[in-house]
Structure 1
Amino acid sequence: MSTEVTRRKAWLMAARPQTLPAGASPVIVGVGLAVHAGVAAPLPALAALIGALLLQVGTNFANDYYDAVKGADTDEREGFTRVTAGGLIEPARVKRAMLVTYGLAVVVGLYLVAIGGLPILVVGLSSIVAGILYTGGPYPYGYRGLGDLFVFVYFGVVAVTGTYYVQAVATMDVGLLPVGIPAGSVPVDAVVASLPAAGLSTCILVVNNIRDIETDRTAGKRTLAVVLGYTGARIEFLLLAGMAYVVPVAFALDPDYGLAALAPLLTLPLAAMVAKTVLTERDGEALNPALERTGQTMFTHALLFAAGLTL
């Protein structure tokens, strides 16, 4: 029985459930904006949420597997335990779990493609390819300073606007499998509303990479934090986090939304506490809790932003 519990715990560690609130946050914002615009559609929204979480877990499996086989995860790494490098689960099984999870995302995506058409097909397939090539393939772009851009685009801008898009299209008379993007299905407001989620999701990666600067540099993994150094990476964190609090102010100044859009500012004390740690600490003992608090900040920010938008 103890072996079974250990195996189950190892799979949970590989899936990294602590990252799921960050995966759900952009969808929550997209739903809040859709409610405000009167285009909310429950089933497409639910499918978008399930798809986003499957992509998150699939990418977690991919990173665990590829970082191990490429030698980027060493005993000196101060982050959360990786099951492949730690010998807790065989590499082949982790790779198989990655493929199965992405496969399930494709199944969910078929429904979304039927509604959203070619744009969702392109977004869905490119999300999977980008998740694998982040640390996999002959030229993993996560090792070349481009991981931050990937997270900003796919776990922020694409996730929020895509969630809004599938709901908006579902309420339009455009039929199944639209080839183009119907007018009004991706308003400027959706793109702007995606920026806080994009910024805070990237902040999670920045904290992770600041913690791993020394071990990543030794392993030849040139994350953007390695390229920028401690000072540059910390400035990046502040700029991204700051954007998450400027955008709600911009919405509050719009009469269509009003002061309720300022609700995310209630998370400022938590963000400030995380920022203080990021600006002063380098080791995993301090930055691992800060990593989790960044995810909590993002999730709470998204809930409050969505609530403010619906009001």
Structure 2
Amino acid sequence: MMKKIRLWIAATRPWSFLMTLASTMLGLILAAQAESCELHYIIPVICGLIPVHAASNILNDLFDVKYGFDTAESLRFRQHPIVSGALKERQLKKGILILYGVGVIIAAYLTSVRGLLIILFAGMGVILSLFYNVKPFRFKERPLGELVVFIIWGPLIVLGTYYTLTGCIASDAILASLPVGLLVSAVLLANNIRDIENDLKKGAKTLAIILGYTAASIFYALLLSLAYLLLILLIIFKILSPTSLLALLTIPKGINSIKLLRNKSPEEVDVKTAELTLSFTLLVIIGEFLKLLL
């Protein structure tokens, strides 16, 4: 029984939930600065987002195996219960439906208490999740993948959380989400740079493949640079507080990742970029929390 539970946990890729939690917490700290904020709604927000993220992760792996992108070689990077055959396709499909179902039920509850716009946020999240993974759209294999994750972990989750807690749409929340969205895009780009050779064999046309290794590496550096530039501009225009400059402490991590790509060592850059993104977002959250205290 415990072995089965561990397999299901591994299939959901729980470490990736930190990215969703980070964007959610950014929306929370921004909402806490608003005139009116119902903080207790953060619990159903998290309880709705995590199952949908888990469903999307399983869906991603399921179709990666089905379309031949994930093979036994994928086990070099992480435990893969689907490739190993420990979990069957029929089981996975049931799990995906249950997890999406939980998200839909919680979205329905939030819609009843916070307004119809919740349907828009939740619907966009589910649709983008499906379109990212499943043909004929399968944005994951196209140069639109980075744009999709930018939208989801940037404006969609941050603004969606902000709206649920405040009942308002605020341009400041959208703008504050942009650096995080750019960094999450850089995580996917780093992953696709690493997988250029394998993805090319499978007929994918990711942004990394279209640009080529060198140009994609330069674009990666531009994404990181733009995230830091936007942070500074957001502070100059008083959308974020000066204490959010704490996020600049992550610059050495970014420089190190850029150097790894330049030296043709992309193997761990996606992981390092994910760590950078989490550190950056956490420091912005801490900076904005300090604003509340000062």
Q: Secondary structure at the match of 1:205?
A: helix
Query: What does residue range 172-251 of structure 1 map to in structure 2 within 5 Å?
Result: 185-251=168-234
Aligned CA distance change for structure 1 residues 208 and 260 (closer, same or farther; 3 Å)? same
Separation in structure 2 between the aligned mates of residue 256 and residue 192 of structure 1, nearest angstrom? 8
Matches within 5 A, 1:96-111: 96-111=94-109
Greater relative contact order, per chain length (Cα 8 Å cut-off, separation 6+):
1
C-alpha distance in structure 1 between counterparts of 2:79 and 2:209, whole Å: 21
Q: Which amino acid aligns with 2:283?
A: L
How many Å apart are 1:153 and its aligned residue?
0.6
**CA separation in 2, counterparts of 1:293 and 1:157?**
23
Instruction: Give the aligned partner of residue 26 of structure 1.
Output: 23
User: Residue in 2 aligned with 1:180?
Assistant: none
Query: What's the CA shift string for 1:132-184, capped at 9, x where partnerless?
Result: 22121333222222211110111211111111111111xxxxxxxxxxxxxxx
Deviates more, 1:77-86 or 1:9-18: 77-86
> Are the aligned partners of 1:115 and 1:166 in contact in 2 as well (CA < 8 Å)?
no
Corresponding position of 2:254: 271
Between the aligned partners of 1:40 and 1:279, the Cα distance in structure 2 is: 45
What is the Cα deviation at residue 59 of structure 1? 0.9
When the two chains are superposed, the root-mean-square deviation of aligned CA atoms in Å is 2.1
Kept in 1, the 8 Å contact 2:21–2:46? The answer is yes
Contact 1:196 1:247 in 2 (8 A): yes
Match of 1:49 in 2: 46
Distance in 2 of aligned mates of 1:213 and 1:258: 39
What CA distance in whole angstroms lies between the structure 2 residues aligned with 1:30 and 1:114? Answer: 21
Kindly provide the amino acid, as one letter, of the partner of residue 59 in structure 1: S
In structure 2, give the amino acid aligned to 1:26: S
Higher alpha-carbon deviation: 158-167 or 82-91: 82-91
TM-score when scaled to structure 1?
0.85
Q: Which moved more, 1:5-14 or 1:199-208?
A: 5-14
**What is the CA distance between 1:276 and its match in structure 2?**
2.3
- The amino acid of 2:50's aligned partner reads L
Distance 1:90 1:280, change over 3 A: same
> Aligned residues, how many?
289
User: Structure 2 vs 1, CA of residues 227 and 206 (structure 1 numbering), >3 Å: closer, same or farther?
Assistant: same
- d(CA) in 1 for partners of 2:105 and 2:225? 37
Q: Which runs of 4+ in 1 moved over 3 A?
A: 4-9, 75-79, 254-258
Judge which range, 141-150 or 250-259, deviates more.
250-259
Give yes or no for contact 1:76–1:215 (8 Å, CA) kept in 2. no
Map of 1:174 onto structure 2: none
| Separation in 2, partners of 1:255, 1:26 | 20
In the superposition, relative to structure 1, how do residues 9 and 232 fare at CA in structure 2: closer, same or farther (>3 Å)?
farther
1:6 and 1:210 map into 2 onto residues whose CA distance is 34
Instruction: Compute the TM-score of the two structures, normalised by the length of structure 2.
Output: 0.90
User: Which one-letter code corresponds to 2:281 in the other structure?
Assistant: A
Aligned equivalents of 1:81, 1:217: Cα separation in 2: 23
Q: Could you say which residue in structure 1 is the equivalent of 2:88?
A: 90
Q: Deviations over 1:210-252 (max 9, x none)?
A: 1111111101122221222112221232222222212221232
* AA matched with 1:199: L
Partner of 2:11: 14
| Matching residue within 262, 275, 281 for 1:302 | 281
- CA, structure 1 residues 69+39, in 2 after alignment: closer, same or farther (shift >3 Å)? same
8 Å CA contact 1:29, 1:306 repeated in 2: yes
What residue ranges of structure 1 are gaps of 5+ in the alignment? 170-184
CA contact (8 A) 1:203 1:237 kept: yes
Q: What is the deviation of 1:21?
A: 1.0
Q: Aligned partners of 1:53, 1:263: CA distance in 2, in Å?
A: 28
* Percent identity for Structure 1 against Structure 2: 28
Partner of 1:62 in structure 2? 59
